[in-house]
Structure 1
Amino acid sequence: MSETLPSTGELLTATVPMVRTLDLQYGETTAEHAVVHLPDQPAFHNHVGGPHAGAMFTLAESASGAVVLGAFGDQLGRAVPLAVRAEIAFVKLAMGQVTATARLGRPAAEVVAELDAGQRPEFPVEVSIRRADGAETGHMTIVWTLRPNT
């Protein structure tokens, strides 16, 4: 019998209720970047017919969490990743399906070295939100920390 580990997207879908609520769909997830899609769903539209700002915030935060898990999943036995703060900018009208692409803002090795030194490292994750035509509709910076288990 062959056992396979769940993908990052499968893991987050199974454990984070908002991912299921919004029907977020995970594309590629690595230690450097993650791609997550928010399907066009009228139940989550705003007053102009596009995805609600709260849904886009959740999309971007979920993409950031996927890259954090990809980069630091091997550290979960000794530290908990937590979002510290976030800033989002909505720059163009979003309509239809939108996609968030998150990128780790610091080398993972630097962050782990700080954790090894007894620090509580912080690191940014940059997220771009785009429409199907490729136009960027928003961007978000989420600062994460690895809180050591004590």
Structure 2
Amino acid sequence: MSQEHAFVADAMKQAVPWVTTSGVEFAEVSGERVVATLPDREEARNHVGGPHAAVMFGVAETASGAVVMAAFAPHLGKATPLVARAEIAYRKLALGPLTATAVLGRPAADVVAELESGVRPEFPVTVAITDADGVTTGEMTVIWTLRPNR
């Protein structure tokens, strides 16, 4: 984790109580990419023994939020990041611990330029969810916006 973005893991745990409750950890954080992990917990499993679909969604959305926080931290005084919409595809049965790798889909500078021009920007974050063997079990796209603060 870069020193520049070391604050993100703690900030996410403070701002989003679900992060601590669920056990999400951050293995890598930069302004372009975040890798979040989630342990396998019996109480979070579904009827076929894998993590519940909501749990997979949660770790992926959390990873996307962390990359947004890392990318736009210097601008959070003038705008609030919000999810506009999300789509997830469950590809394979996930078993065991999960890893969610989120990648910012547009250069942060382009998004900030839109914000500063008076446009409320939208931008994608793509997330791959993998199991302990590195097999992709889900893919998600989260469309974020930066809502100007009043």
What TM-score comes out, normalization by structure 2 length? 0.95
Q: Segments of 4+ in structure 1 off by > 3 A?
A: none
Per the alignment, in what secondary structure is the counterpart of residue 20 of structure 1?
helix
Q: How big is the shift at 1:17? A: 1.1
- Tell me the equivalent position of 2:96: 96
Per the alignment, in what secondary structure is the counterpart of residue 119 of structure 1?
coil
Q: How big is the shift at 1:11? A: 1.3
Distance (Å, rounded) in 1 between the aligned partners of 2:33 and 2:12: 15
Gaps of 5+ in 1: none
Q: Deviations over 1:81-118 (max 9, x none)?
A: 00000000000110000100000000111100001101
Q: Note if contact 2:25-2:38 (Cα within 8 Å) is conserved in structure 1.
A: yes
Question: Which residue identity is paired with 1:120?
Answer: R
Question: Which residue identity is paired with 1:114?
Answer: E
Q: Note if contact 2:6-2:29 (Cα within 8 Å) is conserved in structure 1.
A: no
After TM superposition, the structure 1 stretch with the greater mean CA deviation from structure 2, 13-22 or 118-127, is 13-22
Structural mapping, 1:36-55, within 5 Å: 36-55=36-55
Are positions 1:71 and 2:75 aligned together?
Answer: no
Distance (Å, rounded) in 2 between the aligned partners of 1:25 and 1:80: 23
Distance (Å, rounded) in 1 between the aligned partners of 2:15 and 2:108: 24
Are positions 1:148 and 2:148 aligned together?
Answer: yes
Q: How big is the shift at 1:6? A: 5.8
After TM superposition, the structure 1 stretch with the greater mean CA deviation from structure 2, 55-64 or 9-18, is 9-18
Change (3 A) 1:38 1:138: same
Q: Deviations over 1:63-98 (max 9, x none)?
A: 000000010011111000000000000001100001
Distance (Å, rounded) in 2 between the aligned partners of 1:73 and 1:14: 15
Per the alignment, in what secondary structure is the counterpart of residue 85 of structure 1?
strand
Q: How big is the shift at 1:20? A: 1.3
What TM-score comes out, normalization by structure 1 length? 0.95
**Matched positions, count:** 147
Distance (Å, rounded) in 2 between the aligned partners of 1:149 and 1:119: 13
Per the alignment, in what secondary structure is the counterpart of residue 28 of structure 2?
strand
Q: Identical aligned pairs, as a percentage? A: 55
- Tell me the equivalent position of 1:108: 108
Distance (Å, rounded) in 1 between the aligned partners of 2:86 and 2:6: 28
Per the alignment, in what secondary structure is the counterpart of residue 143 of structure 2?
strand
Q: How big is the shift at 1:134? A: 0.7
Per the alignment, in what secondary structure is the counterpart of residue 37 of structure 2?
strand
Distance (Å, rounded) in 2 between the aligned partners of 1:105 and 1:27: 20
Q: How big is the shift at 1:15? A: 2.2
- Tell me the equivalent position of 2:119: 119
How big is the alpha-carbon RMSD for the aligned residues of Structure 1 and Structure 2? 1.4
Question: Which residue identity is paired with 1:103?
Answer: V
